[in-house]
Structure 1
């Protein structure tokens, strides 16, 4: 007779779950046994920290569009999941979190690890339940899966350790709880927008003379439709960070990223347009959107709640991006005047020339953009790239040009450090055989350093570039630009990451000079299994927005004389593209 844990795992299998990320603990022994006895049908991926399990489940859901599942024991095991679960919540990834609890009759008695995880998880979840017995599990397990997929968020089941082993025939079924009355199926229909809104959107876009498009992760499955809309509207396409792979970076319509990590042509396109089409994005930095009243806004999103979050919207199209764009494209008129697009294209040509200057520097200490560009240039056409949160994000966004067929992933709205490596491992689990790459900083990598051994254990074909500057560099520059304060508290104790990689059974390589890059990359790309490439880079190379706002520039100049290494910073700012970015503030 199956017990509650058996019912849970059988339900996951019925819902086509193939992978569970987690770490064993005595609060989930019953579930671990159910996984052990079904390991030919569902795979358990052991991590070194529960936060990574949640990041991996989130990333797996993003990569595949399927349900990601993570598992943790009671008390601290469950609380460790929270950061990765908030990542899923904010980036709308369907994830099921399963946690253990102490014995059911000792809950709320101050026993060991007596943490009410349903209460703890209340803010992060779209579905949140404590399982009382096996017949209750029959109802809740499938409902939790359905809720996560339907709401594109986090569902949570908390199960006392003794309840996990409670057999179905030992549970008391109420007379209204008929067996198998909840189907283990996912019913997903078309998401089509209101026809009147489509007509309204077409009128707005057809009447405009300078249309720009902002594309995010919601446009990932709508590339052809997005290209068609961009062509009809003669529109440059700026990409939010999560939408980096929506169009290749060399596409004639794209102006690259937007925001502090983005390009000047993207910023100018959104500033100068008289109409903006937003597709699958709620890019959070309001200051980069058109000023209210200067452009008419059309937004496509499958979530009605997200229409109009960042700027006033005249036409809100609630529906699947691909299907909605197809309906809209049928009503758009081809624009003969392509001057706005051509101006953006000319701007991108100048921007690429500026980036090329910084990417070809031969200075020592080595500039981080030099090694980042070299890595990106070598990535094969089917590569998957992840990055962490920090200056490394800006470097990957600006200096790695994604090609058609390549994918990209990062913690978006949460912007959490320590996500890059778990995202990369999840990509390797989701797509066996595809080459995996990651760009991380020494701050974020150190937080989950032990997880590199997970990549070794599961043979992830990972090339991980760690930019070692001994600083929490993004925070350091933000201290200067945002508040006018000198850098403080951001220095890091150095770690030999190459040696650590070797100690965990992987391969560790180091590079300190530009003339060493190609040889080190030759060795890294020739190696099988996970490789850490430790690149010692200039800690005084600033991170700047494409056009420095006047208040940022004023704060930067105020903080500079009091900041350690200000002479080196001043020297770096005198070179392109930083000098042009600073000049844009005047």
Structure 2
């Protein structure tokens, strides 16, 4: 049979090495789905229950493989639904290609059904954004889209009118300027090395510092050995942005763990006390957690030149890949004999880890949320892939799930959207069928895309879901109190029996309410042959306290309690107990 435009596009994706597409069918992409059907031996289609989940899954696939994630949606509402997941990919620097349908090419702009100009709608989210105009346009446009997504680690978008998808390729001629095969499908990432003069200036600053701290992010995920080498030479504690959680094992002698509201007190202490800061592969957005401008000299390494000096004044900026730049920097660094700054951080981390263990092994009822993640951490394999969602659940996961071995971890970092956790896990399980994949999610995030457990069953993906159920949008509750000095409002959730919902989808359901049962229930779920969900009911009044509480936060908290906060007495009791344990 003669090839159609849709065939050309799908075959070009295969030519680029794409093996998986996440999406949902619709009449606006019927031609593309026929091409997917006829090429299914080379290209898998994973059907999700909502287009937003398709974009999240493509982002998760990209995060956990380093390869291009691809999602597809129909015209109009289908393409609109992709947007949140695509912004997540854009904000976290992940290569994702979105392919959408459009209405008939000669009815665009006439208010026909689903006549939404997606190429206009996607102008902000997509670095490359183009409408396919015919058979001769497919190859060059798709090549440019893929190159842009991979080289700039961002989102690209192609939209194709419904009828053009089904045009016969042989019935149309190229324009004279469109030379056949001029667009080569070759991509090799370029890792520029900073000039020697800048490397020497950076080394001078780092060698002269007495108290050097390092902040790393997801740009260092492939540079663990180099980060450890620099930390050892400079006797520097390493704080980790959340997306860089897997850069170093959480029990590494060099790391003080996460930074920020859900980070550790030792990391914040290191930022406040350092006289020199090395920022590598991160654009950690929370400015208040950096050293105050002028207090510390700063060297920054980032592959994106526009990010140098974006969060903190940089005395020297090195543009390049983290691994390459660190390798070039190491020979210029001198081993610091005074190890006191690192040793102080290590002692603080010993105390912090003891505090986390004490909180994670509490036997109170209702069960504390950190008991769930603390117990789960002990049961995870050393190659587990862990995804979490946005909310208080992010704190419990960040603090209690410890990276070790070849474990991978991610979350919606800069966008901090809810509902990403389960689709991320779908992408991870599709990409890594032999590895343990665990999703830790809140009841608010899970209900946003609650159809996706059925996707796990449909494709036999053995993802384990741990849902922390407190019947409240917890992060928003505490933000209303601590950031705005207001009592909670609009955050209570109608309870759902998630174990029953899981079982209705074909997923094994487990319930956990008592800390004494935590290990048994979680182990049973992890050992289940297939997808499983644990509904863990926890104390809604357990606050995700920051590593160091500021005076302003404390005052706002007190004002909110005095203004009619629900369960104020129970909250006060919980906070006092936590602070007493911390002091002890």
TM-score by length of 1: 0.98
The answer for unaligned runs of 5 or more in structure 2 is none
Which residue pairs with 2:359 in the alignment?
Answer: 358
Question: What secondary structure does 1:213 align onto?
Answer: strand
> Whole-Å Cα distance in 1 between the matches of residues 454 and 58 of structure 2?
18
SS of match in other structure, 2:402: coil
Structure 1 residue 194 displacement after superposition:
2.2
Q: How far did residue 518 of structure 1 move?
A: 2.0
C-alpha distance in 1, partners of 2:518/2:289?
A: 36
C-alpha distance after superposition, 1:249-288 (max 9, x if no partner): 0000000000001000000001110111111000000000
**Residue in structure 1 matched with residue 578 of structure 2 by the alignment:** 576
For residues 523-542 of structure 1, the aligned pairs below 5 Å read 523-542=524-543
The residue number in structure 1 matching 2:313 is: 312
> Where does 1:387-398 land on structure 2 (aligned, <5 Å)?
387-398=388-399
Equivalent residue for 2:154? 153
* Alignment partner, residue 203 of structure 1: 204
Q: Distance in 1 between matches of 2:518 and 2:152?
A: 45
Task: Report how far residue 522 of structure 1 moved.
Answer: 2.9
In 2: Cα distance, 1:402 partner to 1:147 partner: 32
Q: Number of residues paired by the alignment?
A: 582
Partner of 2:430: 429
Aligned equivalent of 2:271: 270
- Superposition deviation, residue 577 in structure 1: 4.9
Report the counterpart of residue 244 of structure 1 in structure 2. Answer: 245
Over 3 Å counting, the alpha-carbon distance change for 1:162 and 1:578 in structure 2 is farther
Q: Does 1:565 align with 2:567?
A: yes
Aligned residue for 1:569, secondary structure, equals helix
> Match of 1:472?
473
CA distance in 1, matches of 2:107, 2:579: 62
Q: Quick check: 1:354–1:576 contact (8 Å CA) kept in 2?
A: no
SS at match of 1:99: strand
| 2:123–2:129 contact (8 Å) kept in structure 1 | yes
Aligned to 2:451, what secondary structure does the other structure show? helix
| Alignment check: 8 A CA contact 1:92 1:152 kept | yes
> Which position in structure 2 is the counterpart of 1:260?
261
- The question of whether the paired residues in 1 share the 8 Å contact of 2:361 and 2:374 is answered with no
Partner Cα separation in structure 2 for residue 212 and residue 312 of structure 1: 15
Q: Who is 2:373 aligned against?
A: 372
The aligned counterpart of 1:520 is 521
Could you tell me which residue of structure 1 aligns to residue 136 of structure 2?
135
Q: Any conservation in 2 of the 1:357–1:576 contact (CA below 8 Å)?
A: no
Q: Secondary structure at the match of 1:187?
A: coil
Q: Is the 8 A contact 1:303 1:319 kept in 2?
A: yes
Task: Please say if 1:507 is aligned against 2:511.
Answer: no
Deviations 1:352-385 (A, max 9, x none): 1111121111111000001111011100111110
Aligned residue number for residue 289 of structure 1? 290
Task: Show structure 1 runs of 5+ residues with no match.
Answer: none
- Secondary structure (helix, strand or coil) at the match of 1:574 reads helix
Q: Output the CA distance in 2 between the equivalents of 1:276 and 1:577.
A: 30
> SS of the residue aligned with 2:372?
helix
Do 1:217 and 1:242's aligned partners in 2 also have CA atoms closer than 8 Å?
yes
Cα root mean square deviation, aligned: 1.2
- Larger mean Cα displacement after TM superposition, 193-202 or 226-235: 193-202
The CA distance in 1 between the partners of 2:397 and 2:527, in whole Å, is: 22
Q: How far apart are 1:579 and its partner, in Å?
A: 6.5
TM superposition score normalised by structure 2: 0.98
Which residue of 2 is the match for residue 162 of structure 1? 163
Q: Is the 8 A contact 1:192 1:318 kept in 2?
A: yes
User: Are the aligned partners of 2:376 and 2:519 in contact in 1 as well (CA < 8 Å)?
Assistant: no
Q: Distance in 1 between matches of 2:485 and 2:521?
A: 39
Q: Secondary structure in 2 aligned to 1:480?
A: helix
